[in-house]
Amino acid sequence: MYEDLTDKMLIDFLNLGRVNAPYEPAIREAIERVLRSGYYILGEETAAFEREFASYCGVKHCVGVANGLDALHLILRAYGIGPGHEVIVPANTFIATWLAVSLVGARIVPVEPDELSWNIAPERIEEAITPRTRAIMPVHLYGAPADMDAIREIAQRHHLRVIEDAAQAHGARYRGLRAGSLGDAAGFSFYPGKNLGALGDGGAITTSDDDLAEHLRKLRNYGSSIKYQHDVAGVNSRLDEMQSAVLRVKLQHLDADNARRAAVADSYREALADTPVELIRIPDKAQSIWHLFVVRTPRRDALRDYLTSRGIGTQIHYPVPCHRQGAFAHQAWPELPVTERLQSQILSLPMSPYLSADDVAYVAAQVKAFFA
C-alpha cells in the first residue's frame, strides 16, 4: 500500500487536514451551532445549504442526500428508469457512475473516451443508442466538464435525459454555466476528498425540474414529505445538519480554493510542456476545477516508482476499469481498448489548494529528471 509511505513523503498526494486547516475556526463554530441547536436531521442548516448550493450552481433546486452514489441512483429512480432500460455512461470513470445504473436495474452501456480529453467521446454515443436508451450520464471527469453541447444535442434528438455526474466538478463551468446546471439533473458528492468536501459522507442533487425535486425530497426521506405519511417506497438518504453546516462554511471558499488549484494546474502545464508526458485537453467552452491533475505516459509505472522514491505521492484514477472489476467482469462488454490503454498510462500528480509554487516546481523537476 502506498499509503504506508505517507509519512516519508515530502509532498503528499493529498492531505485533507491541510485542506481544511484554514477553515478550522469557522468549521468549529458551525459544528457547535448544530450541537447546541438540538436539531440534527433535515433542519435549517440543510435547508440553508440547499438554497445556497442551488444558487451557486444556478438552478432552482438542490436536494441534499447521503452521498454521491445515492444522488445519481435516486435521479434515475425518480425518472422511472429501471429494468428494461439502458443508460449510456463513460467507460472511463469511477465505479459509482456504473453502480448508480445497476442499482436501479437498468443496463449499463459504456462508451469509450476521446483520446485527447480522456472523457466520453460524443461521436461514439450515437452508435450506442437503442430504443431502450433512456438517459446519458456524462461525468465531468477530473473536474473538466464533458463536451456538453454535443451531448445535449444528441440527447435532444433522441429524447433522452442528460444526468450529470458532477461528483468531481463543484464550480466547474461550461459556456459560463456551472456544472450541475448543464443537464436535466446532476449528482454531486461531498466525499472529503472532493473539491467541496464534508467531514464525512454527503451528496446532493441539483435540478431546475420542480416535479423531479419534489419527488426526490420524498424519495430521500422514506417517501415522505409530511411526517408519518409515506406516499412512495423511499429510502433513507439524507444530508445531515452537521455536514450541511460544514459545507456552508466551505462553499464560501470554494471559488478561491478552485482558483488556487487552477494556478497549480497552470504551473504544472507550463513546466511539463516540454516533457514527454501527455496532458489532458480541456474541451472548448469548458473551465476545469482541477479535481485531479492527471498526466499520461506509457512509462507510467516507472514514473510512479521514481516519484515515490523522490518523496512525491501519486495515485491512479482509476487503476482497473469498471468492466474489469469483480463487480462487473462476469458480464459481457464490448471491446474497450481506448479505456484500457488510458487506464494503463495515467497518473495523478499531487493537486490541492495548499500546494506552493515550490512544491509544484519540485514535482515538475522530478518528472523532468525521470525523462532526462
Ligand X SMILES: *Cc1c(COP(=O)(O)O)cnc(C)c1O
Footprint of ligand X (CB under 6 A):
67-69, 93-94, 96-97, 139, 165, 167-168, 189, 191, 201, 203
C-beta nearest to ligand X: residue: 68
How far apart are CB 147 and ligand X at their closest, in Å?
16
| Residue 195 and residue 53 in contact, taking contact as beta carbons nearer than 8 Å | no
Based on CB atoms, which residue is closest to ligand X, 141 or 367? 141
Indicate the residue among 87 and 272 with the shorter CB distance to ligand X.
87
Closer to ligand X by CB, 56 or 142: give it: 142
Nearer to ligand X, 122 or 202 (CB): 202
**Closest separation between CB of residue 182 and ligand X, Å?**
15
| Residue with Cβ nearer ligand X (100 or 336) | 100
Distance of closest approach, residue 99 Cβ to ligand X, in angstroms = 8
Closer residue to ligand X in complex, CB, 113/303: 113
Per-residue b or e along 194-212, where b marks 16 or more CB atoms closer than 10 Å to that residue's CB = bbbbbbebbbbbbbebeeb
Q: Which residues of 110-135 are buried (b: 16+ CB within 10 A; e: fewer)?
A: bbbbbeebbbbbbeebeebbeeebbb
Least distance between ligand X and beta carbon 203 (Å): 5
Query: What cell was used for 349?
Result: 500528480
User: How far apart are CB 190 and ligand X at their closest, in Å?
Assistant: 7
Q: How far is the CB of 188 from ligand X (least distance, A)?
A: 8
Q: How far is the CB of 282 from ligand X (least distance, A)?
A: 17
**All cell numbers assigned to 39:** 436539531
Q: Which cell numbers hold the place of 113?
A: 473516451
Q: How far is the CB of 222 from ligand X (least distance, A)?
A: 20
Choose between 243 and 366: whose C-beta lies nearer to ligand X: 243
Of 27 and 167, nearer to ligand X (C-beta) is 167
- Report the nearest approach of ligand X to the CB of residue 320 (Å): 15
Closer of 70 and 86 to ligand X (Cβ): 70
Tally of CB atoms within 10 A around 242:
21
